[in-house]
Amino acid sequence: MIMDTQLASLFTAGALIIIGIFAAVFLDNLIKKVIGLAFIGDGANLFLIAMGYKPGGIVYIYLPGMARDWFAQNAAYPLPFALVLTSIVIGASTMAVMLGIIMVLYKKHGSLRASKVLGE
């Protein structure tokens, strides 16, 4: 392989963020904008996960019978994973609020086009 898994994951995360920003800025449909924003959050999460990955390592769960030193040297770094759990839930709840606002705005304006709804 040309790239190792970690680097490839980082590039995937970067691609997701760029796709998301593109969708949020340039697409006119509000639902599409929200989908794009969800991708930005996913990209940031993948980035954090890739930070904690250890090539050829093991999962960071200490099972009885493992040698302590061997575990300490081979386990992946667990801190980013703990953070991502929080971050995923925050992203989902933010998205739910945005979709709720969009539903109200659709009732008011009868359109999902950002240029019509959000323009003054």
Site for other proteins in 39-98 (CB under 8 A): 39-54, 57-61, 76-77, 79-81, 83-98
Instruction: By CB under 8 A, tell whether 5 contacts other proteins.
Output: yes
Shortest separation between residue 62's beta carbon and other proteins, angstroms: 14
Name the burial class of residue 61, with classes exposed (0-12), middle (13-18) and buried (19+) by CB atoms within 10 angstroms of its CB. Answer: exposed
Instruction: By CB under 8 A, tell whether 12 contacts other proteins.
Output: yes
How far is the C-alpha of 20 from the C-alpha of 42, rounded, in Å?
A: 9
Q: Which listed residue (62, 67, 70, 102) binds other proteins by CB under 8 A?
A: 102
How many residues make contact with other proteins (CB under 8 A)? 80
Comparing CB distances to other proteins, the nearer of 65 and 68 is 68
CB 25 within 8 A of CB 41: no
